[in-house]
Every structure is written in C-alpha cells, then in structure tokens.
Structure 1
C-alpha cells in the first residue's frame, strides 16, 4: 500500500505500516509513528530551520534513523528505509482468496484510546486505503485497566469523535463499537444504555481463563444470549506464538456455546492475529456443523495489522465457510440491520 504523498510524515507512517504488516517488534513502528507526530506538530518556520541545519535529531522523539527519513523525504527523495521496505513487502497469505475479496470491512480494531498504537483517524484512513466500506472501532471496556479500557464517560466522548470523523470520511463508515469484557457471571462490562447506542459489540473473555469448562460454558452462553452482543471474540483466548508467550485454550463445551451463537444470531469471530489463530481448526469445524455466522476480524492494534484478514480467510475457506455466512462481507445497511435486530 504505497502512499501517494512522500512527505516526511507520510513516509514515516508508511514505514510504520510496513513494519507492522510484516510483524516487526512493536517498538520499531511506534518509533516511526512517534517521529511523524513530532514532525506534524512543527510549524513551517521550525521545519525550515531544522532542514537548513539538518538537525532533525535534536527533536525529542526523533532519533538517527527517523531523522534520516525526514531529511531524505524533505529533500524530495523516497527515503532509503521506505524504499527497502517497499521492495521487501510481500502479500499476506490468503489475500488472494475469494473470501478476502468478498470482505467489506472489519469489526474488531483498537486505537490509542485503549491499548492500540495509532489514533482513530490513522486507523480508519488506513482502512479506507485498504478498500473497506466500513470498519468498527472496538476499544476495550472499563474492567480491562491494563489496556486503558474506556469508562462510560470516555466512551461517550469517543462517540462524538467518531461522529465528526464520519463526516470527513463519508461514504466510508466508522462503526461505533466496543470490545466488552465478559464478566465472571456472563454479564457485559459496560452500561446497557451505551451498548444500545453502539453499532457493533464484540464480547470477549479476558479474565479467569483457566476456569473449569462448565463455568466457562455458562459464562459465554450468558454473554452470547445478551441482546447487545453481536460477535463472540477470540473464543478460546489462546496464544500460540509471539512476544507475549503462549497460553493454553480455555476449556468450554463448544457444541453448547456454538449452538447458542446460532440460536441467538451471534457471530463467532475468526481472529486474524497470527499469535491467536482462534478458534482452532477443530472448533471451526464444530461451528460450521452448527451453521454459525462468522466475523473475520483483525483485532488490529496498529494500522499495518489491518492488512492481516487474509490469514483468517485462508483458515475459513479451509473449513468450508462461504461468504454469505461471514457478516463482514455484507453491505453496510444489511450489517447494521443485523446488529440492531
């Protein structure tokens, strides 16, 4: 996804995007994005002074590598780092599948309002460039304090921000949403009045992942049956690789949980994150047998991760899942009619 603007800020952000897309260690792209933010905050006079002295690295948040990118882009060149990353960039596995071509959006993403690495605007403008018709912003709910989950007050503030952004990005639609914690009793971690206002509610378990199967089954069924829940997120909670280490699957009865998804018209998420690959293939087979609906989502915490949907599409096609069973292949009006059912 080469950006047409090769100015310093755009170059820094594209480098961050390409690093994230290739699953680089998170601190590297964050450094380039921070440098872009620093550059954007400068007025033209200050930029001219720094360019004349080639002293970009005197800025807090700009190091030697990011300073070189700014200097080369300011001189009208494609920075060396960007040129190399463009040359090395490879298609995401699964990008050539029919299911990936059918997708119209993404129903699970995060921003700096919780534990994401980029602003709402940068996330959504990236979704536009990827060809999406819509994309849901689903930052975390209050109980997940480690991820700066949104209090009711902050969520209301975010809704106003999304409304203004939608005026700029139309006809693309930023869907209001949340990834809401499933609490110990199966209830949802946000005010019901606020959940009613949102376009998309993804309900996920983030705590007590080692509870016994009966307890976890009852907990997830209660959440799936909640009329506000649209999508059941990363159902096993497993981690199979990556910097956070590995984590075993939660135990639950998949036949009961997936039958509840079918009965209550709740989509089962196929999470695209490489370290999750959730649900496992054997559970996808159970969900297919139960004729569940599915949502193919990135769970992106940074712009480059928005390009990972092909990974889940490849797994979905291998399980025999067709486009009509995947809610984010649906046109916007059909999707919203379903979430508001």
Structure 2
C-alpha cells in the first residue's frame, strides 16, 4: 500500500468524521513530507524507526507509513473506515455529482484539484465549485476579478482531469432585498448558481419571505441553499422564519431546486419543511456543502433524509449527468 495514499485516506476519513482540523492537517502534512522523499529513504527510515525524526511526522503518522509499507491496512485507518450510514443507499448510489463544494479560494481548506480528485475517487462524474461571493468577507468571498481567474483555473483543470468535470459555480449571497451579490453577466457565465441567505437571519417573516421569493425567481438562480440557515449542533442557531409554502411554490414555478444540505450541523431543511417542498412539486439538489475532501462523503446524510420525506431519484437534479443538468 502506498504510504502517501494511506496518510491521505486517514485525513479523508478524519474529515468525514468531523474531527478537529489540526488532526487532519497532521496527516496531510505528513503525506506531503513523505511524498517529497525518495521511496528508498522512506523504507530505510521505517526499518530503522527514524521516521519521527522528520519534521511533520509524528508517532501516529509514522505508524501509518510502517503499516502501509508492510502491505497491511493501517490500524488507524481501519478504526475510521466504518461509519454507520443507514438509509438512502439507493438514492446515494444514483448521485452523479455534488452541486455545492468549496475550495481554499474562499473558506474551504483544500485546493480545487484536491477537492475534484476526492470527488472523482468517490465515483462522481462531476462537482460544482461554489465558492462564496464578495460580500461574505468572513469567508474570503471572491471578487469579480478573483472569480474570473478561478474560471481560467477550472478550465485548465478540466483538461487535466477529463473525463471528470468541474462545473463552474458560486454560492451567491441573497442580499436584503433579494438581489444577488454578483454581477448579472458573471452569473450568466456560470454553470450553476446556488443562492443562500447568510446575513440578517432573524429578519421578520414577511420580509424574509419576499427576500427569498425574489431570489429564487431570479433566472440566474439554480438552487436555493440551506434555506433556514439553522445550526443543530453546539449552541445551535434557530431557523429563519419565512412562509415556506410561498417560497417553495416560487421554487417550483421558476425551476429552482431546493437544496438538501447534508452537513451534519445543518441538515437543512428540517423534515417538516422538506415534506412541504415535496408537496409543492419542487426539484432538489442533495449537496455536501463540503469545505474539505472528507466532507464530500456526507451526502449519505442528505440522502437518508430525502428518502424519509418521499424524495425520489427523478426529483433530484444531481442524479443527472453533467450535460443533462446543464441542459435542464
């Protein structure tokens, strides 16, 4: 087993388990250190027990390298592999891509290529890169100039990673009046636009309803992201208040998919609202909202909730191929 690959797999599974960033970074850093060495030196150090003399390689990461070189599954990795994902298996198997993914261009932790390769390794045909828009400065949102540069980078990566495809996109802020935080001509150039509320989450119900209806009615918007803005872990955050029936009817009318956000701290929308969206005739996008490679595997959580609420594969836009998604 390749030791660099083994270290990266441990990092992936730590991310999937929601472990602290410093722990994930320890394995990614060790992978980079080992990758820079001649394989013969790595083997020699493993035999002599001097791997930990290398800056960036500790006892746990060295153990993974030793196990990998001995062609046995690292015990550290074996403990992480098993996760009880129950429900939604059939729907998960039909997903061909992920429509909400972040990179280190905004508030993600990994380069675009690394996110794309991880998505590909999960069996996806495509992913949509949706870094934040300019107003969300806390998330290092992309200015127009940075977004234009990102489009160039994505075009180059698509040549290198073919047939896997990175679709261009954005998670654009829905402003107070329902307008969008990016120029119309830029939004027109993108493959997929996810629109989300990130500010004034406690806006009065009537105003929030108008704000969201205006946004999902915009012809540039393809997906309504994490519609309630709630957080269900730690101190949590309550749901934004809005007329869900009106918003979902507007989504159905204008062909805007409702996101089923799979992040464990979001799981948005709640089941009662997800059922309302089904009744309204909405389409859906089951997304990871991943900010790190391991988080791409959180789609199981969204699929389980979708299945519970009667969402069928034909209602989910990312069960389609990239070409069908773009033409639809």
Listed as ranges, the gaps of 5+ residues in structure 1 are 1-5
Q: Which residue of 2 aligns with 1:273?
A: 263
Shift of 1:282: 0.9
Q: Which residue of 2 aligns with 1:111?
A: 103
Alignment of 1:1-341 (within 5 A): 6-42=1-37, 54-74=49-69, 78-86=73-81, 89-96=82-89, 98-242=90-234, 245-338=235-328
Equivalent-residue separation in structure 1 for 2:124 and 2:265 (angstroms): 24
Q: What TM-score does the superposition give when structure 2 sets the normalisation length?
A: 0.91
Query: How many aligned residue pairs are there?
Result: 328
Shift of 1:334: 1.6
Provide closer, same or farther for how the CA distance between residues 59 and 160 of structure 1 changes in structure 2, counting only shifts above 3 A: farther
The equivalent of 1:3 in structure 2 is none
- SS of 1:62's equivalent in the other structure is coil
Give SS of 1:126's match.
helix
Contact 2:87 2:307 in 1 (8 A): no
TM-score (norm 1): 0.88
2:198 aligned counterpart, secondary structure: coil
Q: Distance in 2 between matches of 1:54 and 1:143?
A: 51
Change (3 A) 1:103 1:44: closer
Decide whether aligned partners of structure 1 residues 83 and 256 sit closer, same or farther in structure 2, where only a CA change above 3 A counts.
Answer: closer
| Counterpart secondary structure, 1:175 | strand
**How far apart, CA to CA, are the structure 2 residues paired with 1:15 and 1:44?**
20
Structure 2 unaligned regions, length at least 5: none
Deviation at 1:258, TM superposition (A): 0.9
TM-superposed CA distance for 1:119, in Å, is: 1.9
CA distance in structure 2 between the partners assigned to 1:56 and 1:173 by the alignment = 38
User: Equivalent residue of 2:227, what SS?
Assistant: coil
Give the CA deviation at 1:91: 4.4
Judged with a 3 Å threshold, the aligned counterparts in structure 2 of structure 1 residues 160 and 58 are, in CA distance, closer, same or farther, namely farther
Q: Is the 8 A contact 2:43 2:69 kept in 1?
A: no
1:292 and 1:72, CA in 2 relative to 1: closer, same or farther beyond 3 A? same
Partners of 2:146 and 2:63 in 1: CA distance: 38
Return closer, same or farther for 1:311/1:83 CA change in 2, 3 Å cut-off. closer
Alpha-carbon distance between aligned partners in 2 of 1:57 and 1:236, rounded to the nearest angstrom = 47
Shift of 1:199: 0.8
SS at match of 1:268: strand
Change (3 A) 1:60 1:161: farther
